[in-house]
Structure 1
């Protein structure tokens, strides 16, 4: 298998966590980390119509897959972990969308042993590229699953956010190692093998034959603001979400985002 990982795109669920769109009046901290991605993805799916065929490559326990199924789409999750697929089955059943979600064991290297080429209207590839031995090859496989005019949602670890976080924590040597190293890896204790800039992700997407339509910075502020400040102020979570949403599309903030989200289309 070419993927050796846990599903980084999925944060540990908060108590009474809402859907990734964060529709509840008070947004738990975990939902702040996915809301920008979900809202951009939901808009992209809505523009392509109802009952789409969606592939979630490396989708783990299905946080995004189940939400897409709730919109009426049919979702296939391909993941190397049997435990994650078991959790997916349970999550889909609890959400009442088990008939629209299926899980298949596999990874990007053997993707077409379990799904067909040009079989999907949308492909999600969230928290996967960081863990692939060959990110370019993996992304080409994922892109080949798209039908003409299909949409890719790509989420990967951002280099600048990691450098900033290590520096603010006082780990200056590790920050420099991440900044100057070839993969954005800060040391032996770093659980993420590689990180990307927005330019690098855009280049990988273009090399896979897709056109970039939007880039978003994700978790620009949410990972840096102490939780006590958010918890202590009424309405602070909603205000922080609005700030994240406002900054997400601005290129100036892509360089300091913890994650980068790219939407791309197959021409």
Structure 2
């Protein structure tokens, strides 16, 4: 899974582009965990991060005081997770387990989690519907699920703006949303497809967000060199994230929901 650096409460990100890519999801996730903790009547939640890789979300979640289990197929990623958690001083709250979303219940119990993160996973699995069902089955009643997946519209727009018009049309018409044989992403989703997967798995969808609506289209030099540009772009991303009109051009789509009782 790709490495990410959530912006946590006033911290200055070491990589501005990373902050642009994750800030919206992190703020939504942090609020959702806070609400779940109130409902559960505890300050410490059991959180599962499936496909969590090196812990770029898991470690900040652990810093909030929660227990996090990361399931990932890569031993190298899990080794990096262990090192990252130790450096952050949260090693006792982060556990790494080798596995994947399809074999999830070989390594974790059903119905044992207050929240599940499924970020950057559905694009790569053979059966996205089964992946979402497993994520939901890992939740306790009223538990929260955070889904993050590649958006179709953002890929079409990016190929068109780069002058690759045939590839843009290919992505638009391809059932998996791929622009060609060289496309590194096996599958992309529309907001409607992602919410249908969530609802079909027994999730009550509470919010849909467009992620990286503008940041992937803005030249890096513009953000890195102009004073205040990063903060202004972060604020623009946050303002557009919940507006349905921008979901269709987002690079990623984020769905937040709650397991039905």
What TM-score, normalized to structure 2? 0.95
Measure, in 1, the Cα distance between the counterparts of 2:82 and 2:228: 35
**1:25 Cα deviation (Å)?**
5.2
Measure, in 1, the Cα distance between the counterparts of 2:250 and 2:204: 22
2:23 aligned with 1:30 = no
CA contact (8 A) 2:16 2:224 kept: no
**1:28 Cα deviation (Å)?**
1.2
Candidates 182, 190, 201, aligned match of 1:197: 190
Unaligned ranges ≥5, structure 2: 38-42
2:103 aligned with 1:103 = no
What TM-score, normalized to structure 1? 0.93
**1:138 Cα deviation (Å)?**
1.1
Measure, in 1, the Cα distance between the counterparts of 2:55 and 2:198: 24
Aligned equivalent of 2:206:
213
Aligned equivalent of 2:168:
175
Aligned equivalent of 2:40:
none
Measure, in 1, the Cα distance between the counterparts of 2:21 and 2:9: 10
For the residue of structure 1 that corresponds to 2:208, the secondary structure is strand
Measure, in 2, the Cα distance between the counterparts of 1:239 and 1:98: 35
Aligned equivalent of 1:130:
123
CA contact (8 A) 1:146 1:266 kept: yes
Residues 75 and 167 of structure 1: CA distance in aligned 2, closer, same or farther (over 3 Å): same
CA contact (8 A) 1:21 1:31 kept: no
Candidates 64, 75, 79, aligned match of 2:57: 64
2:233 aligned with 1:240 = yes
For the residue of structure 2 that corresponds to 1:130, the secondary structure is coil
**1:144 Cα deviation (Å)?**
0.3
Aligned equivalent of 1:48:
36
**How many aligned residue pairs are there?**
254
Measure, in 2, the Cα distance between the counterparts of 1:215 and 1:74: 26
2:70 aligned with 1:77 = yes
Aligned equivalent of 1:39:
27
Unaligned ranges ≥5, structure 1: 1-6, 14-18
For the residue of structure 2 that corresponds to 1:154, the secondary structure is strand
